[in-house]
């Protein structure tokens, strides 16, 4: 049996229609099954206007500003990442000078924004306008007799290594409640106390 060209075209159209219809029904049935078993089929939608998943500011590290002066090669104000330590700032400023008294500073200290740190010279007497960075000192430059190290205590007028050891021994048993308690340490009388009272704190 032979078909004319027109009949062949008609048969081809009918066949394609059947295939398309069957394929569509099959796809619809599979999608229905997927929904029944909890599989979600969706198209990715753009984020709403004005809503961002991430911002450039969040990706960038926060910067703080600190002022380092004294025995560093290039003292001044620098910007540095938050969470950095004094040693990092010192390295950015060229490092410490040869005469820097590292026993009176804490190079491991974390820096704070707007902080000013003075790095003293070996043998330099503490002054009210100095800001140290160590466990035994505060922003006033005064030495905390409850937390100062032996080397820090030894910088006080008339307080050498022997008296510094006595101060440490005393506070281990009974912390100083006020600076006047320093006179309870053997070897520290009224005269010696008068020479250091303006340079120390007890809390």
Integer distance in angstroms from the first to the last C-alpha of the chain?
113
Distance CA 3, CA 10 (A): 10
CATH number reported for the structural domain that contains residue 156 in this entry: 1.10.150.320
User: Do the beta carbons of residue 112 and residue 64 sit within 8 Å?
Assistant: yes
- Examine residue 70 and state whether it is found in any structural domain, yes or no: yes
Q: How far are the Cα atoms of 2, 67, 115, 200 from residue 81, in angstroms, in the given order?
A: 86, 14, 13, 33
Residues 15 and 86 in one domain: no
Residue span of the structural domain in which 4 resides: 1-42
Distance CA 117, CA 74 (A): 14
Q: How far are the Cα atoms of 20, 25, 82, 150 from residue 166, in angstroms, in the given order?
A: 98, 94, 39, 10
* Amino acid 123: pLDDT: 84
Who contacts 138 (Cβ-Cβ below 8 Å, separation ≥6)? Answer: 132, 144, 201
Predicted confidence (pLDDT) per residue in 143-159, tens digit: 889 888 888 888 888 89
Residues 8 and 86 in one domain: no
Residues 31 and 75 in one domain: no
More confident residue, 4 or 71: 71
Distance CA 172, CA 156 (A): 20
User: Do the beta carbons of residue 61 and residue 53 sit within 8 Å?
Assistant: no
Tally of domains in the chain: 2
Which pTM was predicted? 0.39
Predicted confidence (pLDDT) per residue in 102-140, tens digit: 888 888 888 888 788 888 888 877 554 455 555 455 444
């Amino acid at each position: 049996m032979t078909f004319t060209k027109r009949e062949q075209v008609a048969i081809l159209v009918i066949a394609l229609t059947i295939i398309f219809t069957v394929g569509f029904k099959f796809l619809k049935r599979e999608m229905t099954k997927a929904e029944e078993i909890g599989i979600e089929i969706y198209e990715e939608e753009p984020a709403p206007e004005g809503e961002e998943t991430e911002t450039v500011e969040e990706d960038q590290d926060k910067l703080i500003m600190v002022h380092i002066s004294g025995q560093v090669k290039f003292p001044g104000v620098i910007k540095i990442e938050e969470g950095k330590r004094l040693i990092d700032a010192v390295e950015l400023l060229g490092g410490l000078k040869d005469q820097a008294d590292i026993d009176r500073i804490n190079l491991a200290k974390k820096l704070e924004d707007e902080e000013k740190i003075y790095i003293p010279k070996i043998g330099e007497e503490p002054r009210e306008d100095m800001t140290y960075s160590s466990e035994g000192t505060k922003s006033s430059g005064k030495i905390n007799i409850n937390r100062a190290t032996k080397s820090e205590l030894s910088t006080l007028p008339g307080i050498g290594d022997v008296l510094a050891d006595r101060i440490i021994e005393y506070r281990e048993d009974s912390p100083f409640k006020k600076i006047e308690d320093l006179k309870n340490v053997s070897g520290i009388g009224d005269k010696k106390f008068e020479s250091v009272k303006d340079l120390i704190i007890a809390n």
